[in-house]
A and B are shown apart, each in its own frame.
Chain A
Amino acid sequence: MDYIKITIEDIKPMSPFSQGSTEIFLTGQWSSRKPLYVEKTSPCRVGCPVGNDISRAFYLASKGDLDGALKVFREENPLPGVCGRVCYHPCESLCNRKEFDSSINIRGFERFLADNGRMNIAEEMAKTRKKERVAIVGSGPAGLSAAYHLVRLGFPVTVFEAMAEPGGMLMYGIPAYRLPRDVLKREIDYIKALGVEIKTNTRIGKDIDLASLKREYQALFISVGAHKAQGIGVEGEDLSGVMDGIGFLRDVHLGKRIRLNRRVIVVGGGNTAIDCARVARRKGAKEVTIIYRRSMTEMPALKEDIEWAQREGVKIMVLTAPKRIVGTENKVSSIECIRMELGEPDGTGRPRPIPISGSEFVLPADVVISAVGQSPDLGFLDDSGISITKRGVIETSFVTGTNVDGIFAGGDSSGNKAYVADAIASGKMGAFAIKCYLEGEDVQKEVEKYRIMDGSSISFGHILSPETHKADLRSTVPYEKLNTLCFQREKREDNPEILKPYRAVRGFGETVGSLNREGMDREIKRCFKCGTCTQCDLCFLLCPDISIVKNEDGYGTKKDYCKGCSICATSCPRNVIEIGGTI
C-alpha cells in the first residue's frame, strides 16, 4: 500500500485500524466436508463399444489441440477414419447433450480428426520389444485391432490373411461410397508402420495349418469373420441369376464385369442387403426392391443408410418374405412372396414374423440377391479341439479365450455383434487377454481394473499411460449431475451431403462429406465434456472462502479454510467435483 501516502499515525486518532489478517481463523474447522476432484467416464464412452475417450478428445480439441484429440481416439481405436464413417454410433444414443438439445455428432468428430489430425509414429512405438510372438488369423477390424494393441504392448505380431488385401469386410464388403479405400489403406499402413506384419494371400488351413502356427507362436487370435452366405432356403435358389450378397459385393470390389440392367430383388434387411441394393443401382439395375420380413423398425441396417438407399431409388417392401424363386429355362424370371405379420418376440427379442396364408403374390425379377446372413467358415479348426457353438461360431469367454490354452478369438467368427466397432472391441480385449496370458497374470482381475463401467471394452489409455489417465472408469456422469445452467442451446451440425442421390448412383464416390472447420468447432464447443475438467475455473471463481487454488495440473483445496459449502461441486458444469468427508 505504499502508493498511498497515509501513515497509521494519520488515522490512529480518528478510528481503530485493522492490520492483521483473517487467515489466523481456521474457518475450515467449521466443517469436515471437503471437495475432491474426480474425473469420470462420460456416458458416450460407455456407449462406444471401442471405448473411445470422447469427452477427453473433445476437451483437447476445444483447446485447439486436434492432434492430441486424434491421439486420444487412437489410444483405443486403430481405425478412427473407418469408424468415423461407418460406425452405427451407439455413443450418440447415450450422449447427455441429447437431453438438452440434440446429441453431439461424435462420429463426425472422429472422422474429422482422422482426416485432419497428425500422429507422430515414432512417439507411438512400443518402447520395449517382448520375445513372445503372437499370430492373428484374419485381418478384418477384429484382427487389426488385436494386432495394433498387441504391438503397442510390445509383442511382435504377424497377421495371416487369406485374401490379397487386408481389411476383411472393410475391404471386400462395405462399398466405397461409404468407405473410400484410401481411407482404409491409410489406417492399415499406420498399423503396419507400428511394426505389425501382415501376410496376405495366406489362408490358414490351406497354405499353413493351424498346428504349425501353434508351434511357432506363443499365442493365437482367430478372427476370420463370417463369409459363408446363408441360403434363403426356398425352392429355385440354384437358378442362374440368384447370387449371394457377400459374393456380389466382393466381385464388384474385385472389378469383375457385372451389369445388371433390369429388375433386382434383394432379400434381407441388414447392412449387406442395403449395400447390395445400392450397389445394384450403381451397376445399372433400373428397379431394385428390398424385401424384408419384419417391419422398418426391426431393420438392423442403419437408419441413415436405409434413407440413402430409398433416395437412390431403392424400393423397400417390409413384412414380405420370399416363398419360391421361379425360373424359365433355368433362369430367374420372378419371385413368389408372401405377406407377413408380427407376432410375439422370438429368441432374439424381435417380434416373430408370421406368414399370412393366402397373401401370396408374384414380383417379376431378373436377379435375386440373397443377403439374409452369413456364418463363419471354420473348417480349418476341425482338428484343433476348439469348441464351436450350436450356432456355428467359436465358443469364447467374455475375455475372448477359447477352450484351448493360448488360443483366443473375436469378431464375427465368435458370434460378436456384427459391427465394426464391436469387432474392434473384441480385438482390444483379445490383445489384453493375450498379454495377461503370456505374462502369467490373472486375466479376469486385470480386466476389471481397466474395464469401462460394465461394458465390453477396456481403456488402453489407462493401461499404457496411467500417469496421464486418471479418470474413474467405474463412475459415469448422469445428465442430472451436470450443471446445464452453464450452457446454451445450439443446433447440431451434421455431416454434409456431397453427392445428390441421382449423381451418387453413377459411381462409387463418397456420398457424405466431412464437417468443415467452422461446423466442427461448433460441435467441439457444444459438447459438455462430461466428467472431464476443462479447467474452466468456475469452481475456483465461485468459492466464497478463497479455498480453491490453481496449480499446474488442476486445482487443489485449502482444507484450513474450506467451509464445505459444496458450491464448487454443485456448480461444476461437468460433475468433476465430489464432496468427501462426513458432516
Chain B
Amino acid sequence: MMLKEELEREYMRSGHMGCPGCGVATTLRLVLKVLGERTIVVIIPGCHAVISANYPNSVLKVPCFHSAFEIAAPTAAGISNALKIRGEEGINVLAVAGDGGTFDIGLQSLSGAADRNEDFIYLCLDNEAYMNTGIQSSSSTPEKVWTMTTPGGRKGRKKNLMQIIAGHRMPYAATVTMGKPLDLMEKIEKAKNIRGTKFIHALVPCPTGWRMAENLSAKSAMLAVESKLFPLYELIDGINFRITHEPQGIPVKEYIKIQGRYRHFTDSDVEALQKQVDEEWERLVEKAKSCI
C-alpha cells in the first residue's frame, strides 16, 4: 500500500500539450508518483516527448533527457552506469518509449540492454500505433484494426512482446494500465526495488488514434482488462507468471464497440477476436498455474 503522501505527490505539471483524455499523460504521471523525486527520465520521440516538454518549458519536475528514437534502453543504461561510477545511490532511471519505439524501432537495443541486465526501468507506453505523427500502424497495432496506413485494417496479429521479454529472463516484467491505477502503482513500486532491467508494458488508451470519445479513455482501459483482452500480470525472471487481477470476463465486444478503429468489424470478426482472447487467456492461466 502506498502512503498518503506518496499518493498525493506530483512530478508532472499541468499545462501540457496532450490531447484531452490523453492516456500517456495519466500513465506517466502515475509511474512518476511512485518513483518519486530521485528519478531521471529518458525520453525518445513519441507522444510522450511532445507532452513532456515544450521548449523551454518542461512538464516533468524531475530531470529528463531526450534521446534518439531507437536507443531509449541503452541511453538509460548509460545514465544508470554513469551514476554508479559517480557513486550515486538510489536514483531510479526510467526509459520511456512508445510502441513504435519498443515493438519496432528500439527492439534491438532494448534486447542488448536487457541481455546485460542493465539497471533501469523500461516503460513502454503502448497506444498501438504511431499516434503523434498521425496514426500510422506499428507491429503493436492489433489485427484488422484501422490506422491511416492500414485503411482496410492491419494484416497480421499484434506482436506478442511479453513473450520476447520473457526470453530475456529479466528479473521483473509486468503489464499495467491506467484503468487499474492501484495495480499499476504497486507494480512500479516493486520494479523500483529490484536491481537489473525491469520491463513495464502499459496499454495506453488514445482517444485520438482509437477514434474514441475522450471521456472513455480510462474506461476503455478498464474494459480491456475486464474483457481479458489485456490481462494484468507479473513475470518474474522470465518464467514465473502471476495474474494480479481477476477479470470480470465481459464480452470483448464491449471494448471494441466504443472505438472507431474497430468500426468496420463484422460479427464474425468480433467472434474471431473473442476466440483469440479466450485462448490467450487460457494459455496465461495455464502458465500462471504451473508457476505457483
Contact = CB atoms under 8 A, between A and B. Distances in A.
Interface of A: 1, 3-5, 15-27, 30-31, 483, 485-486, 488-489, 537-538, 541-547, 550, 558, 560-561, 563-567, 569-571
Contacts of A4: 40, 63, 88, 91
A30 B20 CA distance: 9
Interface residues of chain A: helix, strand, loop or mixed (majority) = loop
A27 B219 contact: no
A23 B20 contact: no
A542 B178 contact: yes
B236 interface: no
Given A3-B38, A21-B57, A541-B181, 18 more contacts: A1-B62, A22-B16, A22-B17, A23-B15, A27-B17, A31-B20, A483-B222, A485-B179, A542-B178, A544-B22, A545-B14, A545-B25, A546-B10, A563-B20, A565-B21, A566-B21, A566-B214, A567-B215
- Residue among A17, A25, A550, A560 having the largest count of chain B Cβ atoms under 10 Å: A25
Given A31-B20, A545-B18, A22 B13 contact: yes
Interface stretch (B48-56, B69-77, B155-163): B48-56
Nearest to A550: B8
A488 to B, nearest CB: 7
A7 B227 CA distance: 49
Nearest to A16: B55
Contacts of A489: 248
B118 interface: no
Pick the most buried of A1, A545, A550: most chain B CB atoms within 10 A of its CB.
A545
B26 A544 contact: yes
B175 interface: no
Contacts of A15: 66
A541 B27 CA distance: 9
5 contacts: A22-B53, A22-B54, A27-B14, A542-B218, A550-B8
Which of B15, B25, B223 gathers most chain A CB within 10 Å?
B15
A544 B18 CA distance: 8
B218 A567 contact: yes
B230 to A, nearest CB: 13
B55 A488 contact: no
A569 B7 CA distance: 20
A25 B54 contact: yes
B56 A16 contact: yes
Nearest to B250: A485
A491 B57 CA distance: 52
Contacts of B214: 565-567
B55 A22 contact: no
B56 A20 contact: yes
B5 to A, nearest CB: 11
Given A485-B219, A567-B215, A22 B14 contact: yes
B218 A486 contact: no
Interface residues of B, number: 49
Interface in B161-217: 178-179, 181, 207, 214-217
Contact of B226 (A31, A485, A542, A564): A485
A112 to B, nearest CB: 27
A542 B181 contact: yes
A546 B218 contact: no
Given A16-B55, A18-B56, A542-B181, A23 B218 contact: no
A567 B214 CA distance: 7
B106 interface: no
A26 B15 contact: yes
Contact of A22 (B7, B57, B181, B215): B57
Contacts of B40: 4
Nearest to A100: B248
B30 A485 contact: no
A572 to B, nearest CB: 10
Query: Ordered nearest first, which 10 A-B pairs have the shortest CB separation?
Result: A561-B14, A566-B215, A22-B15, A565-B21, A544-B25, A20-B57, A485-B222, A565-B20, A25-B15, A563-B20
Contact of B14 (A23, A537, A571): A23
Contacts of A564: 20
A561 B226 contact: no
Contacts of B217: 544, 565, 567
B219 A18 contact: no
Contacts of A21: 13, 15, 57-58
Contacts of A27: 14-17
Max chain A Cβ within 10 angstroms of own Cβ: one of B7, B16, B29, B248: B16
A27 B178 CA distance: 22
Contacts of B38: 3
Contacts of A16: 55-56
Contacts of A30: 20
Contacts of B62: 1
B53 A18 contact: yes
A22 B58 contact: yes
A485 B258 CA distance: 15
Contacts of B207: 565
Contacts of A544: 18, 20-26, 29, 217
A556 to B, nearest CB: 13
A565 B26 CA distance: 12
Contacts of B57: 18, 20-22, 24-25
A567 B63 contact: no
A543 B16 CA distance: 13
B255 to A, nearest CB: 10
Nearest to B7: A537
A547 B57 CA distance: 18
A564 B23 CA distance: 14
A566 B213 CA distance: 10
A317 B226 CA distance: 49
B256 interface: no
A284 B20 CA distance: 74
A5 B178 contact: no
Contacts of A25: 15-17, 54, 57
